[in-house]
Amino acid sequence: MLLAFDVGNTTIAVGLFRGRKLVKSWKIKTDNDKTADEYGAVLLDLIRIAGLAAGKVTGAIISSVVPPLTSVIEDVCRTYFATTASVVGPGLKTGMPILYENPLEVGADRITASVAAFEKYGGPLIVLDFGTATTFDAVSAKGEYLGGAIAPGIRISAEALYLKTARLPRIEIRKPKRAIGRTTVSSMQSGLYFGYIGLVTKTIEEIRKELGQDARVIATGGFGGQIASELTEIQAYEPDLVLEGLRIIHERNRDGRD
């Protein structure tokens, strides 16, 4: 079985694949202070509770946007699963040409999600990842990664209002009943929710002008399901897109040892 790790700024998504099937996935809170032993203990418990066998793991792959944790997760794989993890980055074949001015600047999760989306839907396409930041990634009809846009995630925006103002509270992010809020909380929810939909809609529109109006839009990430249901511009929501991309990249780099 293959262990796939998507190490993000807020959570670490972990997927366990048997062949091409995602057998189980988990979300672990990202904590830079945790040791490999702590992460390993948590993961072994999760696998055991799911009724799966850690000893069946024969390969691992990591996508990380938190450099200090990359080596920690590599240690987890070596110590607890007796396997050397591949890390998405220079030297690992993705099958997707990167046309960024400096390819090293592109987050591994952006490339991985784009690989999975192109494999499933073809191109041209726009991949939206609603994570800590919201990213928009453009892929050509030929399967080339062209670049995209990065915006603050909606939770970051909500937290900024709370931290940078004297009287605005921390709020739950959800769709308000009406755009005209009659309380501070409902006013903030209106501005955040509808304003964010406007940000997403306009960015898709501008990227489509350059990429082509026939470009499909595929969404992923924690907040993506809720936003996808609001926008006809988004054709599909794929919650495990990055994990699936990791499986695909792992298959493209297998040498038969696992």
* Rounded-to-integer distance, Cα 76 and Cα 98, Å: 30
Q: What is the largest CA-CA distance in the chain?
A: 63
Are 170 and 162 spatial neighbours (Cβ–Cβ below 8 Å)? Answer: yes
Phi, psi of 214 (to 5 degrees): -85, 5
Chain-centre distance for alpha carbon 238: 10
Are 29 and 51 spatial neighbours (Cβ–Cβ below 8 Å)? Answer: no
Catalytic residue positions, numbered: 109
Helix (H) or strand (E) holding 14: strand 11-18
Query: Can you list the alpha helix ranges (DSSP code H) found in 82-152?
Result: 108-121
* Rounded-to-integer distance, Cα 208 and Cα 87, Å: 31
Are 25 and 243 spatial neighbours (Cβ–Cβ below 8 Å)? Answer: yes
User: 223: Cβ–Cβ under 8 A, 6 or more apart, which residues?
Assistant: 130, 153, 154, 155, 173
Identify any residues that bridge with 36 across adjacent strands, giving them in sequence order: none
Helix (H) or strand (E) holding 70: helix 67-81
Helix, strand, coil content of the chain in percent (nearest 5) = 40, 25, 35
